[in-house]
Amino acid sequence: MTKKKGADIMPSFGNPFAGNVERKITKGELIQAVRLDIAGELEAIYLYDAHVMATDDIVAKTVLADIRDEEKAHIGELMTLLQHLDPDEAEHFASGVEEVKEMMEKLGTPDEAAVKATVGSLLDR
């Protein structure tokens, strides 16, 4: 099996030039890079969460959970950036959100995110 050039996408920290590119990337390549960055954040969340669950050390649990939650914020940043870079993809995301909301409505399941964000709930705080 032959490897395509650039197929190794994970950094090799032994090589200080592994992350260098020889040119500026195109917008399409930037969009792909941001998708890869999102995947990296998801992987990080998965790993930090596994480590939180795997220990009873309260300090380690607290620190790792905090870092895990920061990775979640990074996904929010990257998703916002992706939607800025690719408005067509943003429409697909919005379509998916609406599909799930419709399913939840049919099931009579409250939309917890919407419930949390009501003006009334903010005024009650």
The residues binding Fe ion (CB under 5 A) are: 41, 71, 74
Tokens 């941001």 belong to residue: 34
Min CB(36)–Fe ion separation in Å: 13
Give the DSSP per-residue string, 11-30.
--TT-TTTT--SSPPPHHHH
Min CB(51)–Fe ion separation in Å: 15
Min CB(39)–Fe ion separation in Å: 11
Comparing CB distances to Fe ion, the nearer of 73 and 103 is 73
Comparing CB distances to Fe ion, the nearer of 51 and 74 is 74
Give the DSSP per-residue string, 90-119.
HHHHHHHHHHHHHHHHHHT---HHHHHT-H
Min CB(46)–Fe ion separation in Å: 12
Name the CA dihedral angle for 90, 95, 101, 105, rounded to a multiple of 10 degrees: 160
Comparing CB distances to Fe ion, the nearer of 41 and 86 is 41
Comparing CB distances to Fe ion, the nearer of 71 and 86 is 71
